[in-house]
Copies of this chain bind each other. A is one copy, B any other.
Amino acid sequence: MPYINIKVTDEKVTKEQKRQLIEGVTRLVVDILKKNPKTTHVVIDEVPIENWGVDGKQYSGTKK
């Protein structure tokens, strides 16, 4: 049942990293909450770095 949305800055996240995120988050949710993986959705949003701010400042992309 769960729906998980992951927002990260758009800094060359690879297809393989996305695969690992989807697999890992799904397994976690299934294990901890006993949910059905078949209805567990994970959506990754990649946000341009100039669109993300912390501490009142645009993210520079060098710090993590």
Query: Which residues of A come within 8 Å of B, CB atoms?
Result: 1-9, 13, 15, 17-30, 32-47, 50-59, 63-64
Contacts and interface: CB of A to CB of B under 8 A. Distances in A.
A22 to B, nearest CB: 3
What copy number does this chain have within its complex?
A: 6
B8 A1 contact: yes
Nearest to A8: B2
30 contacts: A1-B8, A1-B9, A3-B43, A5-B7, A8-B29, A8-B33, A15-B50, A17-B32, A19-B50, A21-B29, A22-B53, A22-B58, A24-B32, A25-B25, A27-B56, A28-B28, A30-B56, A35-B64, A38-B54, A39-B39, A39-B64, A41-B52, A41-B53, A41-B54, A42-B52, A43-B51, A43-B52, A44-B47, A45-B45, A45-B51
